[in-house]
Structure formats: C-alpha cells, structure tokens
Amino acid sequence: MTGSTPFTADDYRARMARAARAAADAGLAALLVAPGPDLVWLTGYTPTAITERLTLLVLADGQDPVLVVPTLEAPDAAHATGAPALTLRDWTDGKDPYAATAALLDSGGRFGISDNAWAMHLLGLQNALPGTSYASLTDALPMLRAVKDTAELELLAAAGAAADAAFEEIRKVPFGGRRESEVAADLAELLRRFGHSQVDFTIVASGPNGANPHHENGGRVIERGDMVVLDFGGLKDGYGSDTSRTVHVGEPTDEERRVHDLVREAQEAGFRAVRPGVACQEVDRAARKVIADAGYGEYFIHRTGHGIGVTTHEPPYMIEGERQPLVPGMCFSVEPGVYLPGRFGVRIEDIVTVTEDGGRRLNDTTRDMVIVD
C-alpha cells in the first residue's frame, strides 16, 4: 500500500477486530498472518524484505493484536499505518522465533494461517506446539477481504479507470508486423503512465495463441487478419485492475465477428445476473449458458470470474459449485471466453462490484469489436 491510500490506524484496528471475530465464529483460536496481501490489508505493513526470518501477525478475539517481527525489521514495522493498533513482539537472530510465537498461542488450538506462509514456519510452529492444527485462510475464511468498503471501492474504480485509459491508448498503436512482446511492453508502459505502481500481467495473444487463455507473450509477429486477446492489469495505490478486450488487425471474417458477438452477449448475461443474494455460481451459469446454447460450450474452458482487491486474484470465484451469496461491496471479474484451438480466441472482461440492487461495472471501454492497424 502506498501513502496515498486513505486508510488510518483506526481502519486497520477495525479490520483486525473483525477478522479476529470471524475467526472465533469459525471455531479458530486465532489467525496467523504472514507477509503478503492479508498482512497488508490488515495492518498496512509490507516488510522491506521478505526473508526466511519469521514475521507473523497473531489475531485472537478479545486480545490485542501482536506482530511477531525480527528485531532488524521492527523500526519499519513501527512506522506502518496500522502500527498504533499493534503490539510488536520482536526477536533477535540466534533466538527461537517459534518459541516466542508459541507463548502467544493456545497449545491445543486450531488456527487459521495465511496461504502464503512458508512451510518452514508452519512446521516450526507445529514442532513448538505439537497439539495444534491449522487451516488455510482461503478454506477457513474465504470471504475475509471480499466485501470492500467505500474507500476500497473508490480505489478499485480508479484502478479500473486507469486500465481503461491504457486500452484507449493501446488501440491507437500499430499491431500488425510487430511482436506480441513489443505490444505487451507498450501496455505495461501505459499502465504505469496512468498510475499503476505494479504491472502484474500484460497478455497479448495473437491469432492461434489467443486460444490459450494464459498465453505467455513471445516473439510471434502479429499479422493482418489476426484476432488479438489483450488481458492486462496490476496495482494502483494498492488495489487491482484487470480487464480484457479482444481486437482485430484489419477486417474480421463473419465467423470471427459472430464469436466475438457471442462472447459479448455472454459477458452481458453474466453481468446482468449480478445482484445481492444470488449465488456466485449463477453468474457463471448465466454467461456459460449463452455460449453453450450457441454450440461453443466445450470451448469456454475456465471459470467466469475471480475476486479482486489488494491482489488481482482472490475470492470470491464465479464458478459452478460456489454457493456463496453475493453481497454489496464484493468485486470480481466477469470474463467469459471462447477458445478455438489452432485458430483464435476471444475474451471480454470487466471488473464488477455488487450494489444494493444489482451490479456496477468498473471498466467502461467498448465491448464491441475494435479494429486496429
């Protein structure tokens, strides 16, 4: 998180208290939060260097939050925005950080622990407290960061607008005769120009490469007649953007127009399914039905969406079997696609937030086919 975010120590205090209560309601003795997006969201603290030294936030309902931190990192931790809401417990090299942490924990408890915690740290805690058990935060509290407050929604909207501005500029540059990697570099530069501090991905998948949803940009030269899938995003002021549009170099064939229109209709159907109380899977079903009814169901090979916040992929997921109801403030992508192996692909993606009576798009660029040079 950067200094431009509007969050205060009181905001972080409220988040930590809410997380501790949610853990208790889930039957957990405490949450153990390692460096990563959960720690940033809860405290505003990102260690200057994530090393093998243990850093761990301990949150238990009814107790003050404690951040176990290496002594050499303690000065930086003390300057984090959320530091006034924390008790720092530092440990020095040569001491046992697991014993120091174990003193804060119930020796027979079950704990939620960050998905990205190092295995060596989890094993160290298990050795120090052999009677304990652990659950990943995604399994135990999948909706911990899912519902955004007003300030978070404003940051996500600003990130979406910045990604939109990048698309409006990239559609003006030459595509034909250039390598995918060159257009991807242009996209990354545009994201930074419009305020992104971190570029997470800039997929430029041309022609047959478009049939691979996670294509890695390479040396393929984009040709006239190619469909080109663009998928790009990153972090602006600590919150994510992620959008996809599919453009065409020169005039498309009738089939290419038909498939693009189909994906646009599916994306619209997924968006129209968004409203409070609806299960996440219904967004997937609505988009998937349009594509399946047109005979392309086997070529829609991924979920319809994923949550977004301080990371570009997080719960909730718009996928069959996810019965979590939508709640105002949730933010996620709606991104159906059709991928025809060896030929071309089409994906259209917007970030959507749930409102009191439906949904609101955070991406506003045209979803019609764009012709580029």
- Residue range 305-321: average pLDDT? 97
Are 164 and 364 spatial neighbours (Cβ–Cβ below 8 Å)?
A: yes
- pLDDT beyond 70 at 244: yes
pLDDT, tens only, 189-204: 999 999 999 999 999 9
Task: Please check the confidence at residue 1 and state whether its pLDDT lies above 50.
Answer: no
Residue 351 has pLDDT above 50, yes or no: yes
Residue 293 has what pLDDT? 98
d(Cα 166, Cα 155) in Å, to the nearest integer? 17
Going by pLDDT thresholds of 50, 70 and 90, the confidence category of residue 6 is confident
| pLDDT of res. 148 | 97
The answer to pTM > 0.85 is: yes
Residue 358 has pLDDT above 50, yes or no: yes
Residue 49: predicted pLDDT: 74
As a whole number, the mean pLDDT across the chain is 95
Beta bridge partners of residue 331, listed in sequence order: 353
pLDDT value of residue 4: 52
